[in-house]
Amino acid sequence: MLLIKQDTTNNLYFNVLAYGFDYTNYILLVLTNDMTKKQYAVILYGTNTLTPLSYVPLIEIKYPNNLASEIRLKDTGYYKYQLYEQSSGTNLNKNDASVIKPLNFGKAFVSGAGEVVYTEHEDTTDTTNYMYIK
């Protein structure tokens, strides 16, 4: 599972070399929110120096450049992630012809300031019942 924090740089560790990733290509990361089903896509950079124990930065930022490892995930919560190997450095569509193969998939959790905080609500309604008799 990936943990992605809002408004910071996240270091993501993927062993994509185990799947035969060609480091001259690009990695497309697609995140789908479990509740809203909204998809977000980003091209991860820094993949030309990957080793089995290296990481790829993902910057969660307010005004992202999705072609340079930057993304804005407005909603916190659980996401489904999918990694794809592709030949294009500008494609953000997982169904494009430049996508070579899927590399990995799994779950991600996005945490941050936008998290829902639950508080106890005390019922203040009056429970007195009135009855009028004629």
DSSP letters, 10-68, are EEEE--GGGGT--TTSEEEEEEEETTT--EEEEEEP-GGG--TT-EEEEEE-SS--TTT
Tokens of 104: 């990995």
8 Cβ contact list (under 8 Å, min separation 6): 59, 60
Give the domain range for residue 64: 2-111
Residues linked to residue 4 through DSSP beta bridges, in sequence order: 110
Task: Decide if 116 is inside a domain.
Answer: no
Across the chain, which has 134 residues, the per-10-residue mean pLDDT values are 90 79 87 95 76 76 89 92 93 96 93 66 74 79
- Is 74 within the bounds of a domain? yes
Q: What is the pLDDT of residue 134?
A: 77
122 falls within a domain: no
Q: Is residue 124 part of a domain?
A: no
> Two tokens at 97?
């012809």
The residues near 121 (Cβ < 8 Å, ≥ 6 apart) are none
Number of folded domains that form the chain: 1
Instruction: Judge residue 66's burial from the number of C-beta atoms within 10 Å of its C-beta, 0-12 exposed, 13-18 middle, 19 or more buried.
Output: middle
Six token digits for residue 37: 């089903």
Q: What is the pLDDT of residue 100?
A: 95
| Closest listed residue to residue 58, CA positions, set 77, 78, 81 | 81
Is position 128 within any domain? no
Tell me if 99 is assigned to some domain.
Answer: yes
User: Would 53 be classed as within a structural domain?
Assistant: yes
**What CATH number does the domain containing 16 carry?**
2.60.40
pLDDT attached to residue 85? 92
Does 84 fall in a domain? yes
pLDDT of 129: 75
Q: Which of 93, 84, 92 is nearest to 16 (CA)?
A: 84
